[in-house]
């Protein structure tokens, strides 16, 4: 469903992604690990359409469409969801209103009618239960004053509401307590169907016990330098990144 070929992107003169190749097929879960600053979030942002990054080469197709031609909101309409590493605080906009707008704009993009108030509420209730989040948090200004963990849980709530085809989770586990990791993983696993794809960016093998990946990739210095199965994550946990660096040298 997602095919990234020799993707190069950077900011101003600096190249951050230096030729990424990655294929995600429906139903697959891929994990990306890699040292700080290696380009994981940059990749996620480029996939979501952040304008700050200039794509200087390569291609990305999503379900046959040239993803790089689409605006961020169109990508979301096509079914891409990014759980932000650092969710943005939005004063004066509640999660509820945010989601009402997002759900309906996406429906509009897909040529569907707006969700009526009753169906929307029903959906909210269902997803709130799924990620164990309560109403009071959804009425507050989005992410404003939320704890790190609350922000991440809210991201997963949004994902559950929008039911994307491809979810990209950028360090959704960081800042989560042990129970919350389980809850978040549970939310993600609900999305795991033969049609959907998931890309998990994480530093910790632990998350992958809950969201078991089909493939694990190591992103280092703007390139995927090693790919394997879930065992690779254990190896990294044990040995750190040094062995990869020495393999490369």
Partner 1 sequence: MDTITYFKDRFEKLQEQQLDSRLKSLRDGAFSAFEQTGIPTVKHEEWKYTRISDFFSKDYHFTTDLQEQQFRATELQPFLLPGHENANIIVFVNGHYHAEHSVLRSEELEIISLEAAAHNQYAGIVETHLGHSADYHKDGINALNTAFIQEGVFIHIQKGKTVNHPVYIYNVTDARSGNIFAQPRALVHVGENAQVEILETFATIGADESFTNQVFEIAVEENAVLSLYKIQNDAANSTIVSTTHVHQVGKSVANVVTISLSGGLVRNNLNMVMSAPYCEANLSGLYLQSGHTHVDNHTVVDNRQPNCLSNELYKGIMNGHATGVFNGKIFVRQIAQKTNAYQTNKNILLSGNATVNTKPQLEIFADDVKCSHGCTVGRLDEEALFYLKARGISEATARSLLLHGFALDVLEKIGSEDVRQYVNKLVTASLNLG
Ligand X SMILES: Nc1ncnc2c1ncn2[C@@H]1O[C@H](COP(=O)(O)OP(=O)(O)OP(=O)(O)O)[C@@H](O)[C@H]1O
Positions that interact with Mg ion (CB under 5 A): 40-41, 85
Distance, in Å, from the CA atom of 41 to the CA atom of 53, rounded to the nearest integer, reads 11
| Contact set with ligand X (CB under 6 A) | 11, 16, 34, 36-42, 52, 85
Residue 28 or 170: which CB sits closer to partner 1? 170
Which listed option, partner 1, ligand X, Mg ion, none, makes contact with residue 36 (CB within 5 to 8 Å by class)? ligand X
Distance, in Å, from the CA atom of 167 to the CA atom of 170, rounded to the nearest integer, reads 10
Residue listed under structure tokens 């085809």: 165
CB of 23 to Mg ion, least distance (A): 22
Distance, in Å, from the CA atom of 168 to the CA atom of 31, rounded to the nearest integer, reads 10
Reading the block at residue 215, the tokens are: 């493939």
Residues 229-248 touching partner 1, rule: CB under 8 A, are none
Q: In this chain, which stretch among 9-17, 30-38, 82-90, 201-209 interacts with partner 1, using CB under 8 A?
A: 82-90
Which listed option, ligand X, Mg ion, partner 1, none, makes contact with residue 93 (CB within 5 to 8 Å by class)? partner 1
**How many residues are there in the chain?**
249
49 near partner 1, rule: CB under 8 A: yes
Distance, in Å, from the CA atom of 174 to the CA atom of 185, rounded to the nearest integer, reads 12
Distance, in Å, from the CA atom of 67 to the CA atom of 82, rounded to the nearest integer, reads 14
Q: For residue 65, how many C-alpha atoms fall within 13 Å in the half-sphere facing its CB?
A: 14
Which listed option, partner 1, ligand X, Mg ion, none, makes contact with residue 84 (CB within 5 to 8 Å by class)? partner 1
- Residue 92's CB: how many other CB atoms inside 10 A? 8
**Helix, strand, coil percent content, the chain, rounded in steps of 5:** 40, 30, 30
Q: Residues 36, 51, 136, 246: which binds partner 1 (CB under 8 A)? A: 51
Distance, in Å, from the CA atom of 74 to the CA atom of 229, rounded to the nearest integer, reads 32
Residue 39 or 79: which CB sits closer to ligand X? 39
Smallest Cα–Cα separation from 153: which of 126, 191, 127?
127
Residue 105 or 235: which CB sits closer to partner 1? 105
The rounded Cα 60 to chain-centroid distance in angstroms is 16
Residues 150-209 touching partner 1, rule: CB under 8 A, are 158, 162
Q: In this chain, which stretch among 46-54, 123-131, 206-214, 221-229 interacts with partner 1, using CB under 8 A?
A: 46-54
Residues 83-142 touching partner 1, rule: CB under 8 A, are 84, 87-93, 97-98, 101-102, 105-106, 109, 141
Smallest Cα–Cα separation from 47: which of 92, 11, 96, 83?
83
CB of 39 to Mg ion, least distance (A): 8
Q: In this chain, which stretch among 31-39, 74-82, 184-192, 206-214 interacts with partner 1, using CB under 8 A?
A: 74-82
Give the interface with partner 1 as residue ranges (CB under 8 A).
48-52, 71-73, 75-77, 81-82, 84, 87-93, 97-98, 101-102, 105-106, 109, 141, 158, 162
């Amino acid at each position: 469903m997602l095919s990234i070929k020799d993707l190069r992107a950077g900011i101003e003169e600096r190249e951050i992604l230096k030729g990424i190749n990655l294929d995600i097929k429906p139903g697959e879960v891929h994990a990306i690990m890699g040292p700080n600053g290696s380009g994981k979030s940059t990749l996620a942002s480029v996939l979501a359409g952040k304008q700050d990054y200039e794509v200087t080469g390569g291609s990305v197709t999503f379900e046959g469409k040239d993803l790089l031609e689409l605006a961020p909101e169109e990508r979301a309409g096509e079914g891409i969801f990014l759980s932000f590493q650092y969710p943005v605080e939005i004063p004066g906009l509640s999660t509820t209103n945010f989601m009402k707008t997002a759900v309906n704009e996406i429906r509009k993009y897909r040529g569907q009618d707006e969700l009526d108030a009753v169906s929307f509420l029903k959906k909210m209730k269902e997803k709130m239960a799924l990620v164990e989040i309560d109403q009071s948090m959804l009425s507050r200004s989005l992410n404003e004053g939320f704890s790190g963990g609350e922000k991440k849980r809210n991201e997963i709530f949004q994902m559950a509401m929008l039911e994307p085809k491809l979810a990209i989770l950028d360090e959704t586990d960081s800042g989560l307590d042990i129970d919350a990791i389980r809850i978040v993983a549970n939310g993600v696993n609900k999305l795991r169907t033969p049609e959907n794809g998931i890309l998990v960016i994480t530093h910790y093998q632990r998350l992958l016990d809950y969201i078991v990946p089909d493939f694990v990739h190591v992103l280092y210095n703007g390139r995927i330098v090693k790919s394997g199965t879930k065992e690779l994550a254990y190896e990294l946990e044990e040995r750190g990144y040094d062995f990869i660096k020495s393999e490369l040298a």
